[in-house]
Amino acid sequence: MDLHILDHRLRVTSICKNGLVNFTHPLIKLIFLRKRTRCKFFSLTETPENFTVVLDEEGFKELQPSEHLQVEGSVWLPLNVISNGNASSSSQAVGVTKIAKSVIAPLAQQHVSVFMLSTYQTDFILVREKDLAVVIHTLEEEFNIYREVGGEYSAVLSQDVRNGFQKNGKEAPQPTVHPVLIPPNQFCVMSLDPDTLPAIATTLIDVLFYSSSPKEGALPSQDLDCIKFFSFSLIDGYVSLVMDTEAQRQFPADLLFTSSSGELWRMVRIGGQPLGFDECGIVAQISQPLADSDISAYYISTFSFDHALVPEEDIVSVTEMLQQHRKEPAC
In a domain, 298, yes or no: yes
Q: What is the pTM of this model?
A: 0.89
pLDDT of residue 15: 97
Residue 56: what pLDDT?
97
Q: Is 106 a domain residue?
A: yes
Does some domain include residue 276?
yes
For the chain, list residues with pLDDT below 70. Answer: 84-93, 158-175, 212-224, 260-261, 326-331
pLDDT on residue 90? 41
Q: How many helices (H) and strands (E) does the chain have?
A: 9, 17
Beta strands at 50-56 and 41-46: parallel, antiparallel or unpaired: antiparallel
Q: Residue 1: what residue type?
A: M
Query: Looking at the chain, which runs of residues are DSSP E strands?
Result: 2-5, 10-16, 41-46, 50-56, 69-71, 76-82, 114-118, 123-128, 144-149, 152-155, 180-181, 187-190, 230-235, 238-244, 265-270, 298-301, 306-311
In 119-249, DSSP assigns E strands to 123-128, 144-149, 152-155, 180-181, 187-190, 230-235, 238-244
Predicted local confidence at residue 161, as pLDDT: 55
Q: 3-class SS at 322?
A: helix
What domain range is 307 assigned to? 1-211+227-330
* Domain tally, the chain: 1
* C-beta separation of 187 from 311 below 8 A: no
Q: Is 89 inside a domain boundary?
A: yes
Is residue 219 included in any domain, yes or no? no
